[in-house]
Amino acid sequence: MASHRKSRPTGTRVAGIRTPALATAALTSVALLSQSANAAPEADDKPSLEEVEKKVDDLYRQAESATDKYNAAKEKTAKQRKRVDTLLDDVAERAQKLNEAREELGSFASAQYRTGAAAPDTATFLLADTPQDYFDQTQLMDRMTGRQKVAVDDYVTQQSETMKKRQEATESLETLTDSQDGLRTAKATVQRKLAAARELMSKLTAEEKARLAAIEKEKRAEAARKADELARQQAAQQQKAQDEAAQQQDSGSSSSGSSGSGSSSSTAPADSSYATKADKALAFARAQIGKPYVWGAVGPGSYDCSGLTQAAWKAAGVTLPRTTYDQVNAGTTVPLSQAQPGDLVFFYDDVTHVGIYIGNGMMIHAPKPGTYVREESIFYDGESAIHSVVRPA
């Protein structure tokens, strides 16, 4: 760092003013320093290509996280809407019964009015033509009063239950409104993130886009190298397991063959069953290659990441939850080195992405908006991005 001590000017001074030559030089230096100071922030304000790439990737990840929240809100809204519809149907049915009870009460009231009031008395006896008529009228009115009491009780019960169901329907409608608000919020968040990512990419020059493509190519080459390495490790482990199984079989056949064969039959069916289901799931996933990623989509024309894995395993007869952070708990976690075709590979600490493993370090997944369902190395975003591997069946 230069010293703050000012050096004495070499030129002559007249009345405290430097000579014109030195004054001009000083003014030039000030102008250059001023230009440098003004230019520096502009250079600092412009992010590097690597920073732009990281920012875009972060925005896509945030959009994917928001997509999962959107999916969860959408699922909750659908369930709540179904509950509201059921409650409203129940309320309508109870209202019909309430109207029928009200009509029955009205008919009893009319009958009472026609027969002339309530309980039989001396006047009723005097108006009767014969004592037998009196007793007949008394029995009729007693029966009518009893049926009326039943009708009143039924009416009160129906009214109480109808009010209760109406209250439940009102509360469910309020919950549905909240769910719809959450759905709109999540959708708006996704759209904001995607718009910001597109805006960043649109500002890149042709040269910067070419450099970005070169960086992406290097990343894919590194991901492919890691995938090959994992495939070799898995092949070695599989060969080792086969050798150990063969040794155990040889050992068992020489000493207790029946015990060895029993042990083999206890593990093979489970593996075979999983492989059969996994084959169906993978066949479905492969058939979707080339279809676009669309957030919130579950097929058949487009998918998001968890929508693809859910649909693939549904084709194999296995029901998975809708979102990644629910799917990660829908099975058995296994080490990456023991991943088998059909397993689900989850990414990032917040579990916001998933693909279906096809073997040899590769997977089929719906990557992000603007892309298509494709095969890709599970190391596409680096080994540290892998969160876990889950066997769903």
Residue 136 has pLDDT above 70, yes or no: no
pLDDT digits (tens, 9 = 90+) for 44-96: 456 677 777 777 777 777 777 777 777 777 777 777 778 778 877 777 777 77
Counting residues of the chain whose pLDDT is more than 90, the rounded percentage is 28
Q: Which residues face 14 on adjacent strands?
A: 17
Per-residue model confidence (pLDDT) at position 296: 85
Least confident of 102-111, 198-207, 257-266: 257-266
Per-residue model confidence (pLDDT) at position 14: 35
Q: How far apart are CA 151 and CA 155, in angstroms?
A: 6
365 is known as an active-site residue = yes
Radius of gyration of the chain (CA): 40
Per-residue model confidence (pLDDT) at position 219: 84
What's the mean per-residue pLDDT of the chain?
A: 75
204 is known as an active-site residue = no
Residue 114 has pLDDT above 60, yes or no: no
- Name the pLDDT band for 22 (thresholds 50, 70, 90): very low
387 is known as an active-site residue = no
Q: Residues 305, 308, 351, 364: which is the catalytic one?
A: 305
Per-residue model confidence (pLDDT) at position 33: 38
Residue 7 has pLDDT above 80, yes or no: no
Q: Residues 365, 368, 387, 391: which is the catalytic one?
A: 365
Measure Cα distances from 211 to 205, 208, 261, 331 in Å: 10, 5, 60, 41
Q: Residues 94, 277, 353, 368: which is the catalytic one?
A: 353
Per-residue model confidence (pLDDT) at position 132: 62
Of residues 107 and 38, more confidence is placed in: 107
Least confident of 171-185, 295-309, 321-335: 171-185
Residue 162 has pLDDT above 80, yes or no: no
